[in-house]
Amino acid sequence: MTAIIIFIGLIIGLNCIPLLTKTNFPKTEKIIVRLLFATTIIFLTTFLFALNSYRLKGQYTLTTISWVFMGLTIIYFVIFKNTRRKILMVFLLTPLLILCVFTLLFGQVLKEFKINDNSKIIVTTGGLLSCGELIYITQTEFRIFDKEVHYESSLCLRGIEKIETVKIDDSHAEFLIYHNGEMDSENPYRYDVERKNGW
């Protein structure tokens, strides 16, 4: 509850900054509005794709989009004078800003390990209730997406440094996961996956 009150106070405080200045920057405002609109569309699109198991390629792609969106939103709050339009935009952008912070804290890509030319393993930070890092096995789709074909959240491994492919055949795959050993004493951890969905 305290975090929510602090966050709301921060949003209100940022929106009160334009009351302290009397200068207007109409050209800058126009550019920021256009950039914010474009970034909002890109952020929402990538987030909706991620919900449907499609991640944009690149370890820092979603993180970069999220930081740009968050930065432009804060600049919008700070520079623009308070009008009805801005108040409406604040109510629309604040939930997206919360979602952006959530994506930066949870689900951030930590490392990627190549399995073959078409598949790789992605390690991300866990959520609030996860005991370790999350593991996704993905395949390249449409050249710009990594399509999730397998998801694992129950291993309780942290500090994953390296994942080696031991063997892979038509029915299953075996990996060695090197981690910091805090949550599980088996290091490297032997991880067997049954191959489904044609990956």
Q: Is the peptide bond before 188 cis (omega within 30 degrees of 0)?
A: yes
Mean pLDDT value across residues 20-31: 70
Give the distance, in angstroms, between the CA of residue 160 and the centroid of all CA atoms in the same chain: 18
In percent, the amount of the chain with pLDDT more than 70 equals 86
Of residues 170 and 7, more confidence is placed in 170
Name 166's Cβ contacts closer than 8 Å, sequence gap at least 6: 174, 175, 176, 190
pLDDT tens-place string over residues 4-22: 666 676 777 766 666 555 5
Name 85's Cβ contacts closer than 8 Å, sequence gap at least 6: none
DSSP per residue, 134-170: EEEEEEEETTTEEEEEEEE--S---S--EEEEEEE-S
Give the distance, in angstroms, between the CA of residue 37 and the centroid of all CA atoms in the same chain: 19
Residue ranges of alpha helices (H) inside the chain are 2-20, 26-51, 61-79, 84-105
pLDDT tens-place string over residues 93-137: 888 888 888 888 887 888 898 888 888 999 988 777 778 888 888
- Residue 3 scores a pLDDT above 70: no
Count Cβ neighbours within 10 Å for each residue of 140-149 and write b for 16 or more, e otherwise: ebeeebbbbb
Q: What value does the mean pLDDT of the chain take? A: 82
pLDDT tens-place string over residues 40-55: 999 999 989 988 889 8
